[in-house]
Amino acid sequence: MVKKLLTSLGSIISDASERGLATRNPVRDIRSSRKGRDRRQEKRQKGRVEVGVDIPTRDEIKAFVAALDAHWRPLLVTAVFTGMRSSELRGLRWQDVNFKRAEISVTQRADEFGEIGPPKSEAGVRTIPVPPLVINALKEHKLKQAGSPIYVFANPEGEPRSHANIVQKGLWPAMVKAGVTLPGKKIGKDGEPLPKAKYAGMHALRHFYASWLINRKEDGGLGLPAKMVQERLGHASIVMTMDVYGHLFPRTDDGTELAQAANILLS
């Protein structure tokens, strides 16, 4: 009935507009607004990430970390337990690592050309507490570095590493070594598909970090509230955090709790 009325009203006002008796058609505005809301909702649904598809599982991360060699371990362990973007990792300086307080400050990033600039937004400037695993890996890495470079994860010339180098030489081989794979397109000598990395980009490690922050402590996570998750990830708004990760937060409104709440309310 509502649709029929809106259609009729829209036709009347449209005719009035053609006659010069109306300057705008509010029915058209209502429909445009609804379409906009539908598109935003669809976009939010598509933006959601799923464990085992976009987010490595707990067992996959355990295998991945165990498979890291000495060369790539500092960078990739830092990625797992800070959720820093690839550009932020590549622009990280030693002066931004506080060994005593076990913190890493994100103050800049390196773009795809290696140019240094500010983080993506003001919220990107943040300080991230890190576990001893990361601090110990970075201490060992600093002792082995030659030439005292400015950047933590510098290339042999002392400049930020390229994103492609990190993914192709570090992430993918470690995934394959850990058995976190999918069948690839290339065929081996035995006629079987060669395995390829299950998660193709560094953002998968950022997704895992977000899930680690969200997961309950009894499940091996930190159980942080949404606002703290937003701050640790450096999202510009809480809406972005909830659109992508909101469905991962533990639900507490199960049947038993709903029944208890209703009984208490009405008693």
> Look-up: residue for tokens 């990107």?
124
Q: Is the pLDDT of residue 43 over 60?
A: no
CA distance 115 to 183: 36
| Per-residue pLDDT reduced to its tens digit, 146-190 | 788 999 999 999 999 999 999 999 999 999 999 999 999 888 888
CA distance 213 to 227: 11
| Per-residue pLDDT reduced to its tens digit, 207-236 | 999 999 999 888 889 999 999 999 999 999
Nearest to 77 by CA among 130, 151, 149: 130
Q: Is the pLDDT of residue 48 over 80?
A: yes
Report which of residues 256 and 203 the model is more confident about.
203
CA distance 167 to 54: 16
Domain 58-204 grouped into CATH 3.30.450.20: no
- DSSP-assigned states of every residue in 63-87: HHHHH--TTTHHHHHHHHHH---HH
Delimit the domains of the chain by residue range.
58-204, 205-248
pTM of the model: 0.78
